[in-house]
């Protein structure tokens, strides 16, 4: 029907009833199902061919099925990441006197990674406006990558 319309043929006889539309839809769905089945068969065959190259392998059905296990790793939020970084880089050999001084001092607020990334973008924009700042921009990009 579309070909007739595009070739500017008369469209008076291009009417279909609901039954014909349902049959066309069913045929299309069958074709799509066959195409998907063929693609899955090809994928299964390819995976089985790869299967012979690995020392440890699992059945294709198990590989393709969604695991019912619990979530293994939960992505922490920015504040948790920052706290972990602080704990990681905190000096280990603090004496009791050092701990008392640290408790009495004013606490520095924890800055989130999002704020740091925004600040680095501003610095990068400034550097892009300078003539000879290519090396500095690369350094800023490395720092940004580390923070992300």
**What gap in Å lies between CA 141 and CA 132, rounded to an integer?**
16
CA-to-CA dists, residue 52 to 43, 45, 47, 64, 108, angstroms? 15, 11, 9, 17, 57
What domain count does the chain have? Answer: 2
Predicted structure pTM score: 0.29
The answer to whether residue 41 sits within a structural domain is yes
Is residue 91 within 8 Å of residue 107, measured between CB atoms? no
Residue 20: predicted pLDDT: 81
pLDDT digits (tens, 9 = 90+) for 6-52: 888 777 777 777 888 888 888 888 889 889 989 988 888 887 777 66
Boundary residue ending a domain (20, 35, 64):
64
Residue 103: predicted pLDDT: 54
Residue 73: predicted pLDDT: 56
Same domain, 55 and 83: no
Domain that holds residue 57: 2-64
The answer to whether residue 90 sits within a structural domain is yes
């Amino acid at each position: 029907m579309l070909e007739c319309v595009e070739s500017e043929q008369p469209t008076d006889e291009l009417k279909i009833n609901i039954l014909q539309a349902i049959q066309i839809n069913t045929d299309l769905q069958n074709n799509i199902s066959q195409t998907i089945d063929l693609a899955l068969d090809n994928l299964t065959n390819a995976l089985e061919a790869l299967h012979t190259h690995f020392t440890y392998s699992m059945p294709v059905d198990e590989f393709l099925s969604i695991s019912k296990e619990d979530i293994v790793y939960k992505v922490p939020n920015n504040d948790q990441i920052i706290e972990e970084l602080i704990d990681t880089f905190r000096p280990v050999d603090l004496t009791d006197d050092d701990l008392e001084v640290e408790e009495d001092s004013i606490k520095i607020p924890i800055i989130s990674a999002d704020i740091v990334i925004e600040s680095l973008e501003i610095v990068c924009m400034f550097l892009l406006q300078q003539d000879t700042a290519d090396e500095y921009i690369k350094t800023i990009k490395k720092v940004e990558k580390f923070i992300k």
